[in-house]
Structure 1
Amino acid sequence: MNPTTAKEPPVAHALHRWEAETRTLHYDYGGFPLMSMYIPEGVVPYYRQYSNGNLQSHPFIQQLYLALDKPASVKISFHLSEDALNMRPHRASKGQAILGQVGRPLLEGVNGLYDLLQDLLIDWHGTEWKWTNSSLKSDDAGRWHAELEVQGGLTPWIVNLRMHYYRTHLHYRHHQPWEWRPNLQPISGWSSWEAFAQGVSAEDIERTTAFLEAHFKDYGMEYVQIDDGYQSEVIPPDGEGKIADAWLYTNERFPNGHEEIAGEFRNRGFKAGIWTSAMVTNREFAELHRDHFEKDSNGDPLYGPWIFYVLKGNPEALAEHVAPFYQALREQGYEYFKTDQIRHYLFDGLHNAVNDGLITSEEASNQLREYLRCAREAIGDDSYFLVCWGVLTEAVGLVDACRIAGDSNASWTAVCKQMVESARWFHTQRILYLNDPDYVCVRTDEAWGRSLLSLVSLSGGLLMLSDKTELYDQSRIHAIQRCFPSLSTVTGETGPLDATYPLDLSLPQAPQGTIDEAFARALLGLDPDSRDPHPTASLWSIHFDTPSRRWCVAGRFAVVPLEEAKLELQALALAPNDEYHAFDFWKQRYIGKITKSIRLEALELGHCQIVGLYKAEDRPQLIGSSRHVSMDAVSVQDERWENHSLLLELRGVLGTTEHYWIAVPSSYKHEEHWATGLEIAIANCESTDDGNLLKLSVRFDQERGEAAIRFSTESDYLS
């Protein structure tokens, strides 16, 4: 596991203190400074001095306010822990993009901060305000700080503090980030399930991993996972044997056992992953070990759909039947573990015992949690742990990833559901764990696959392909390479789960490629005549904040057919009066310089438009890339402007060529260029309203290199 050094924050008031010498109102929480308000001379502040603002006892909310006797600008500083984010304190509402972030940007109009290690949400309302910096700043101790200016006056500026926010307000009661954090690394890989199902063989794995190595490994594919089909059909195979036998002794399609499977993965340079299940299907075994299984009202081993016989989640049963196979698989070299049927174990298994009055609901939840704890301890702190399927509060604080959607496949119903559930559960992304929308089936309609790849990569979801690789034509290979690896995106918004549209609909399936519009709208619970330009899950805004660059990628996804739309930049959490260069990724096309709003094209069902938005600088700047859908959080390691030269540090796949677009104001002229470790060429590809666009083509003779493009100005010629 990943223990932290933080202490549990109190469910208690932030306490105020007035510092007359500096005219500063301070609020301290948990023994540390939390917020400081600097009041100008000649202004009388009004604030809650005696009542500490307890609005609600459980879950706990404290409200603070500041009013002034006359209009004045007040500087506010927030002092946060070693892990904190700017976060909108509600889910995307009508017309707003779903917000994500890579880095720690401070976003236009996003009126909240989430202190992750304290599980504290801070939000503010009431008067105009603006950030004074573009990013959260870190001090020498690694603690984060943010600063804003409030236009104060008689109208109060209101601050709400929600202590233990995810734990009590959103009811994830096992979320205790001061004790443990999951492994939140990006995950990109391939699984055997949708490709071969239970018929998978050693020959399938050997052939597939060779293809994956050749086409995707250098682009960021890291894991290959064997799914259902390597184990014995009956669990365990012998009533007098052990459950571990089902998982440790492979079937006839894998005659050389796990050494053959995990060894093939590792020999190709991948980390080895494996699927197991909480099922026990052998009735004889359950009868012989009756004390370790839940019983029904007749005293027989309890039976439930999908889970079959329900193993008890107590220390004795888990130590004898569960820990051994997890430990042994770890010793075989597996580093990525997917445990399936946990929802069925709880709701179709243990809760059947609750229905019969044999155990309580609390005992059922505790048994599931102990099952997961046993697995976690057996695979070790350094293994990756994914549970499947369904978001369960019992899994929080024990697992690294959780599958948020039902089973995937190549149909539009499944693809749409994956995109919609990625939106529904985005408030948990890298707060509780990594979200897994299930396998991405790129063999589907090409446009649908490109959309799903783009969304999962940009939103930072667990990105695991699952197709027979012979179904990948060159266009699909190219799309996968543009979306690998998945990103480290964290949610930029929070709030209660939106349950106002369906998780799934069992509607008649139209033939592949002939989904009609009414069907598509019904999947989202929409009126057939609805023409909402941005329905649920269709609009995303991912903000990137690196030491050398800052930009936004807007994604529009046609979960239903979308008409052409004018989108206000504020909906993307961008400053409406700033100018931005806009670049369409999949069309590799410069849209132009925009302000206040952007015109988005009409999209057919399942299609997408991905647009990079870069605040326009009064100098040449990078505004587009062919390498990655993020444009470009993957290949651009650094961008600097020094001595009239644009300097780029780039990382790419050896032997490949990528393209980068540079916007050049009319006051600059390209003079020369050079590179180390790279072969570069520059072409003047088009004129813009106030300059021109250069296309930099880079061949990676080495994996890393530097390119330099020198420019001159009119003043250089005059001098």
Structure 2
Amino acid sequence: MNQIMKRQTASEPPITQAEHSWNEETNLLQYHYNGRAVITIPLPEGVKAYYRRVSDGNLLTSPFVQQLYLAFERPQLVRVTFELSGDAVNMRPRRAADGEAILGQVGRPAIYGANGLYDVLQDLLIDWHGADWRWACDRIGTNGNGNSVAEIDVEVGQTPWVINLRMQYYRKHLNFAYHKPWEWRPNLKAVSGWCSWEAYRRDIEQEDVLNAARFVSDHFKAYGLEYVQLDDGFQLPVVPPAADGIVADAWLNTNEHFPDGHEALTSGIKEQGLQPGIWTNAVVTNPDFAALSGTCLKDQEGHPIKGKWIGYVLDCTPETLARHVAPYYKGMNEQGYTYFKTDAIRHLIYDGLRLAVKEGLISNEEAEQKFRAFLECAKEQIGDAYLLSCWGVFGEVVGLADACRIATDSNPSWPAIRMQLVETARWFHTQRILFLNDPDHVCVRAPLEWAKSAISLVSLTGSLLMISDKPENYDDERIGMIRRNLPPLTTVTAETGPLDITYPAFAWTHVQGYAIDLDKADQPNAGTSNDPSGGQAGHPLTTLWAIHMQTETRTWCVAGRFATEPMQASVLKISQLGLDPAREYAVFDFWQQRYIGRFTEVIPCRRLEVGSCQIMAVCPVDDKPALLASSRHVSMDAVSILEEGWEDGVHTLKLAGIPGTSENYWLYVPAGYTVSGLSVDNGEGEWSAEGETVKLTIRFTGEESAARLSFEQA
């Protein structure tokens, strides 16, 4: 045992077995991996135990799977302790099925029924099966060594309780070969901004961008919006402009619609307290350059290869990248851009480099290496600036891109918005593990309920949130809706598993515009439900989400119902949300701003028209007043509530706010409690009783406020 404990942590987690040890004095069974006792089980005295040792538990060498088990001659309750790196989260080791909520998490909650732990830094998945179990604590903790600790109580009998360990899970089992979190992690911050593309497309002027910057600064900066990103329409029309020039010339020199160049844009955006972002592209369009420069791929007859959307194809050698690509990323970074959207890379690989493979010019491996070299060049030149790869999900961008476009181009139509909802579900297992998911910009000028669904899901799932409309499209109702979704959360997936390809991807086609006819909005989405009724009475795949929230003083769940198809009034099983059905919960509807009631086992849900959504706070109730919801943020509320407390009959809230604005906060109040007084620091407040709730209204006079609501108990 001592020899095992002294082994050091490897810089790259080894693809090897966890080694067991049993201490006869303490009766502790432990499994050690990469310098930690990842599993510790105290064996009961006087009971014969059966457990798996080392190599006999190895099921598969590549990808590596180790299966352990534990059994006793008669039933025993044992507490199992897991110790992982400082960055570990609860993870259901499979994707949601029809009728189940897709699980996400903010903080590190222990989610009911989610039978797995994922060590992010080691890319290690541990899951367990075959016995009744429950969490010993409602959250994953941290020990004195900075490691993550989780405990479960398991009822183990003669039937073996199984534990699986999958080393380098995303890298080897899910085949994201470049995922090496021990070397590099993407920027995991919340990202939000305004993008010019769906607002103006290529019909854009310098002043359009600056006007938009002023508008979003005035209306959204205080709520968390950070970026203004110019998307196409600024560059010179031919890339590169001269046959003997370099590709960078077309990007660093702006056209006549941007007479003052990049510096005017970046300085103008920064003057508004925002960060400037820019669109870049892998395209080459100058035929003379392609023929004469010696830097583009050519076919067997010596003619430049030309692919759809990409034009001519750079050979992506180190020399070519250094001369033609590095200068424009470096130059734009020096001009002040801090956010880069690199577009058309799917065409670089599919319609360019892979075309060269088809011609027999390079191998598949060389195409992949060249593709990755292009992104490596960009990343090196922009340094700490944010990098979004666009569009399409590429394993080759893992380890380089902070965010990745997981969906095709969006717009204000229902097919496009539905595409965003569905692809967010399909790719959620990658969220903040491989990169930040980007379902493309939200067009809030769409019909209000559609826009509300899109922006609510993007915010709650913590995806990259970009709005893209002209300022005149933002009426008061839409401004309020956007504010209630800013900033997006820092949500991490709480489920994992292989990519689900059993339902259609909503990609553009040349026949109907989308892969299936989604203009018939009253028809159920065949392919998203195994229910012969089309899921009308329940919650088919992609429609139900549960984001589990945890702060130092609060634990709650936000349930989201998204009608990608018509949904009848129904009952929702609380267990479907990853919540203990034996507990009682108070439920609040965010967009209707109303209390629904207290429930155990099931929650009644209203009918939803296609495109609409229902967002509910589901909060465990106790024997004292507790916060239920707020009007500030769709999370209810992971944004403005800094701290909640209860002591000696006084409920306290420490709040972050925007001076001059008012927000409402609802408390669930058990029977027998009545409000006896309210005091507010750095703000003004009033309260009113509404059945089982108390509505507290705070008007902020500063950026922070504190409210104390006193109660008397009958």
Partner of 1:101: 105
Residue in structure 1 matching 2:243, options 239, 246, 253: 239
Shift of 1:288: 2.6
Partner of 1:256: 260
Shift of 1:519: 5.0
2: CA distance, partners of 1:713 / 1:504:
56
Residue in structure 2 matching 1:468, options 467, 470, 479: 470
Partner of 1:347: 350
Distance 1:409 1:520, change over 3 A: farther
Distance 1:616 1:357, change over 3 A: same
Partner of 1:44: 48
Partner of 2:459: 457
Residue in structure 2 matching 1:622, options 623, 627, 647: 627
1:191 to 2:195 alignment: yes
1:607 to 2:597 alignment: no
1:706 to 2:706 alignment: yes
2: CA distance, partners of 1:497 / 1:191:
29
Please provide the CA RMSD for this pair: 1.6
2: CA distance, partners of 1:249 / 1:517:
45
Partner of 2:573: 568
Residue in structure 2 matching 1:298, options 294, 297, 301: 301
Shift of 1:140: 2.3
Shift of 1:22: 1.1
Deviations 1:560-603 (A, max 9, x none): 01111111111000000101110000000000111111111110
Distance 1:50 1:181, change over 3 A: closer
2: CA distance, partners of 1:154 / 1:526:
36
* Equivalent position amino acid for 1:671 in 2: S
Partner of 1:717: none
* Equivalent position amino acid for 1:145 in 2: V
Deviations 1:49-101 (A, max 9, x none): 36441111111100000000111111100010011010000000121100000
* Equivalent position amino acid for 1:363 in 2: E
Residue in structure 2 matching 1:657, options 644, 657, 662: 662
Deviations 1:487-537 (A, max 9, x none): 100000000000011102657479xx9943465525858899523521221
Contact 2:99 2:541 in 1 (8 A): no
Q: What are the equivalent positions in structure 2 for 1:193-232 lying under 5 Å apart?
A: 193-232=197-236
* Equivalent position amino acid for 2:488 in 1: S
Q: What are the equivalent positions in structure 2 for 1:525-544 lying under 5 Å apart?
A: 530-532=534-536, 533-544=538-549
* Equivalent position amino acid for 1:597 in 2: V
1: CA distance, partners of 2:648 / 2:334:
55
Partner of 1:376: 379
Partner of 1:408: 410
Distance 1:97 1:6, change over 3 A: farther
Deviations 1:432-456 (A, max 9, x none): 0000000101111110000000000
1: CA distance, partners of 2:290 / 2:460:
46
Partner of 1:398: 400
* Equivalent position amino acid for 2:138 in 1: S
2: CA distance, partners of 1:410 / 1:39:
60
Residue in structure 2 matching 1:640, options 632, 637, 645: 645
Give unpaired runs (5+ residues) of structure 2.
Answer: 1-8
Residue in structure 2 matching 1:584, options 561, 566, 589: 589
2: CA distance, partners of 1:567 / 1:514:
27
SS in 1 for 2:676: strand
* Equivalent position amino acid for 1:610 in 2: I
* Equivalent position amino acid for 1:285 in 2: F
1: CA distance, partners of 2:99 / 2:570:
11
- More deviation in 501-510 or 543-552? 501-510
1:328 to 2:331 alignment: yes
Shift of 1:664: 1.4
Partner of 1:360: 363
* Equivalent position amino acid for 2:238 in 1: V
Q: What are the equivalent positions in structure 2 for 1:171-190 lying under 5 Å apart?
A: 171-190=175-194
Partner of 2:564: 559
Contact 2:244 2:293 in 1 (8 A): no
Deviations 1:647-702 (A, max 9, x none): 10101121111000111112222111111111111111x22xxxx31110010110
Deviations 1:177-223 (A, max 9, x none): 11110101110100000001011101211221121111111111101
Distance 1:69 1:529, change over 3 A: closer
Q: What are the equivalent positions in structure 2 for 1:72-221 lying under 5 Å apart?
A: 72-221=76-225
SS in 2 for 1:674: strand
2: CA distance, partners of 1:214 / 1:412:
29
Contact 1:130 1:149 in 2 (8 A): yes
Distance 1:526 1:228, change over 3 A: farther
* Equivalent position amino acid for 1:602 in 2: R
1: CA distance, partners of 2:576 / 2:639:
26
Contact 2:415 2:518 in 1 (8 A): no
Deviations 1:241-273 (A, max 9, x none): 221111111111111001111111101110110
SS in 2 for 1:320: helix
Partner of 2:423: 421
1: CA distance, partners of 2:145 / 2:332:
40
Shift of 1:293: 1.5
Give unpaired runs (5+ residues) of structure 1.
Answer: 715-719
Residue in structure 2 matching 1:547, options 548, 552, 555: 552
- More deviation in 568-577 or 238-247? 238-247
SS in 2 for 1:160: strand
Partner of 2:491: 489
TM-score by length of 1: 0.95
SS in 2 for 1:681: strand
Contact 1:502 1:525 in 2 (8 A): no
Shift of 1:300: 1.7
1: CA distance, partners of 2:611 / 2:502:
22
SS in 1 for 2:609: coil
* Equivalent position amino acid for 1:541 in 2: A
SS in 1 for 2:201: helix
Count of aligned residue pairs for this structure pair:
701
2: CA distance, partners of 1:517 / 1:341:
31
Contact 1:279 1:308 in 2 (8 A): yes
